[in-house]
Chain A
């Protein structure tokens, strides 16, 4: 026993010292959907984009705790509120051996802003980029941009020569409906390079020998396979064919826990599930109340919120795989404050009284739009809510349908009441702009319920331009205090991410569901 312990300690010490020699280790993992293509600028799919972070670098990147850290930019200074200088990392080479320079960064920016690019919205605050030296660039922002370093993580840097030579200088244009060389070939500066890509069977990666960073992983080869069937994915893990799978469906978690060779990892995701209500129209589209809109009355919104027992939903419907939230915010994002997790208590009597005060003592009828295949247990959550609201006389007709129909409907604001979810990301600003700001040109586009408050709008504007972190945090709090007090939406819970891993490997789980191969190591 003693011997074993000291051996274990020795191993630990060796591992800690980084002295453990790298062995030939193949890491295999499976995700529920495929990697749709290798061009992060032409994919709307966040899981594909996450995958590609192993292959491409941005100027900045997120660390395992989602803090921004330097990547291809070694350091930066701000000359003024709108002018930044970035010193680029020397001696960086692309997978094809070409040296990385400032030209590649400027080229990638142009590429990211061209026609069909999917990263364009992420770089909305950037006015322009120019080369000021072989390894130095200058970025000008539209106004002061506190989220610039955050936004830059989304801009993968392509080799200008490689992309131009292969006619991939633009991400595929929607008008040509085509693909280009970069859709199925990759050449980044990241820690891994693609050796084989097939949409159906997966992607094979090798470490990039000349990667600029300090290698912490023990991978000599990495193989990704999409496995869409939940039970097959778990079987692949239990049979040892893959070392890690995600997501792990809750009904299979027990089986993985029972295996002595595997473990379940969970962490709060940055995604909030909430109920939206139409507060804009003078009459609801789908209700028995005519001539007025009950959801325009703050008391009604609060009544609905207090009638929903979210503790019970987390415990029974989500089987514990959810956490409490009180606003469109999670602790992983900048701008969060612990007051944002507080919510008015579940209280049916208080809810009934609020409804009566608002003039609806017998409740009303409303249709709830609900996706069936987008969020964890989305339909079951809606069914539970229907039952809970019946207790206060609000009769809910459930319209549960597949996400393609659901999103088409609520995207047109053709709804009175809907269950929706949103990934907050690493900074609270974007969710506020998209979901809390009064809808207008290019802003508030997912504020489907038309919540509108002039003070919140102006606070959002200030948040987007405040460079002082402390002041910015205070602005966040004020805006969320108003939004919460007015019950702009009814937060239900935050989702947990569940991964299953073989005990052979160790890795770090991130709140944005990204498997960072940089931290995958093998147990000896």
Chain B
């Protein structure tokens, strides 16, 4: 119980620190008023606009009012769209969540399977090829992968759309692209772009862990006991090897939310990342600060979830023991 409270405190402190950092940096983005009003608008009218939006207040004052509103559950109002940020987030979250989840699930499932296979058959030509290919996935920057995929599969061989989300269906206010053909087609390229990096990491990590575990004593015993090889690898060894992979995949899931920024820009994917990039260009400080706090919240939540997941996967942790480095 105590540890949960500590964790909660840490989470709040992290988010507060993020908001502070955001506010102390964001004024460097410059003056949004030039974007809010046309060039012909008089200096006096611009000054009025600045006053109305509280842009003349000092950074500490603006930070204080931001936090005060946040505590009351108000994320504030965007300068660019002049709408409540909470509404904007609610509209954009589905696109990002679907993209990130598809990328995460595909990369974890495919990455794990390929990793196990590569470890079980280390001398196979194909498994070596896959391993080499994963280096490319890990080292290519996301925008390069995205641009490359667009030119290969949208322009040269036009199978998938080059941009956008396709048709969406409204389910209780959640705009999903998972239920239409065009929505699913539109997910392929950005999902692959975003997932490729994660896939490479999961694959390599899984393989390394598996190679380790397959040499462990309990595997020898299991084999000596005459358990079928399939069950040794996929049940006993895999479960032990999963732990570090879950940690990294969990942290990377939060990373995916952050990386989706680039993927969304490349594919004009109407999610939070695109909202953020537009806001940077506009110097829409309240929106940027709210986004950064939101992302901090996502990181904190996922880390918490990863901690809890340990207890299910590794019995030693459930029993309250400290984890020994493998």
Verify B34–A36 contact, CB threshold 8 A: no
Q: A446 touches which one: B39, B49, B266 (CB < 8 A)?
A: B39
Known contacts A229-B265, A404-B283; A121 and B40 CB within 8 A of each other: yes
Residues of B in contact with A, size category: 35 or more
User: How far apart sit A236 and B128, CA to CA, in the bound complex (Å)?
Assistant: 36
Verify A241–B163 contact, CB threshold 8 A: yes
Q: Which residue of B42, B155, B281 has the most chain A CB atoms within 10 A of its CB atom?
A: B155
Verify B82–A183 contact, CB threshold 8 A: yes
Residues of A in contact with B, size category: 35 or more
Give the Cβ gap from A489 to chain B, nearest Cβ, in Å.
Answer: 16
Binds B, one of A173-181, A299-307, A311-319, A477-485: A173-181
Question: Looking across the interface, which residue of chain A has its beta carbon closest to that of B267?
Answer: A232
Verify B150–A177 contact, CB threshold 8 A: no
Contacts across chains A and B counted by CB atoms under 8 Å: 135
Verify B31–A404 contact, CB threshold 8 A: yes
Binds B, one of A160-168, A220-228, A274-282: A220-228
User: How far apart sit A485 and B283, CA to CA, in the bound complex (Å)?
Assistant: 39
Whether a CB of chain A sits under 8 angstroms from the CB of B162 is yes
Question: Looking across the interface, which residue of chain A has its beta carbon closest to that of B76?
Answer: A177
Question: Looking across the interface, which residue of chain A has its beta carbon closest to that of B151?
Answer: A235
Chain B residues 194 to 213 lying within 8 A of chain A, measured CB to CB, are: none
Q: B37 touches which one: A36, A118, A236 (CB < 8 A)?
A: A118
User: How far apart sit A515 and B80, CA to CA, in the bound complex (Å)?
Assistant: 23
Verify A228–B265 contact, CB threshold 8 A: yes
Residues on B with C-beta less than 8 A from A179 are 81-83
Binds A, one of B3-11, B105-113, B247-255, B269-277: B269-277
Q: B163 touches which one: A33, A34, A232 (CB < 8 A)?
A: A232
Chain A 20-55, CB within 8 Å of chain B: the 1/0 string?
Answer: 000000000000011011000001111000000000
Verify B162–A36 contact, CB threshold 8 A: no
Verify B268–A228 contact, CB threshold 8 A: yes
Verify B162–A44 contact, CB threshold 8 A: no
Chain B residues 64 to 83 lying within 8 A of chain A, measured CB to CB, are: 77, 80-83
Residues on A with C-beta less than 8 A from B39 are 44, 422, 434, 446
Q: Which 7 residue pairs spanning A and B have beta carbons closest together?
A: A404-B30, A200-B270, A408-B31, A44-B38, A405-B30, A407-B34, A44-B37
Beyond A174-B52, A408-B30, A411-B31: 8 further Cβ-contacts under 8 Å? Answer: A45-B38, A118-B38, A177-B77, A178-B82, A232-B147, A401-B30, A404-B30, A405-B30
14 contacts between A and B (CB under 8 A): A34-B278, A174-B48, A228-B277, A232-B268, A235-B154, A236-B163, A240-B158, A241-B161, A402-B29, A403-B34, A404-B31, A408-B30, A411-B34, A445-B43
Interface residue ranges, B against A (CB under 8 Å): 28-32, 34-45, 48-49, 52-53, 77, 80-83, 91-92, 95, 147, 150-151, 154-155, 158, 161-165, 265-268, 270, 274-275, 277-278, 281-283
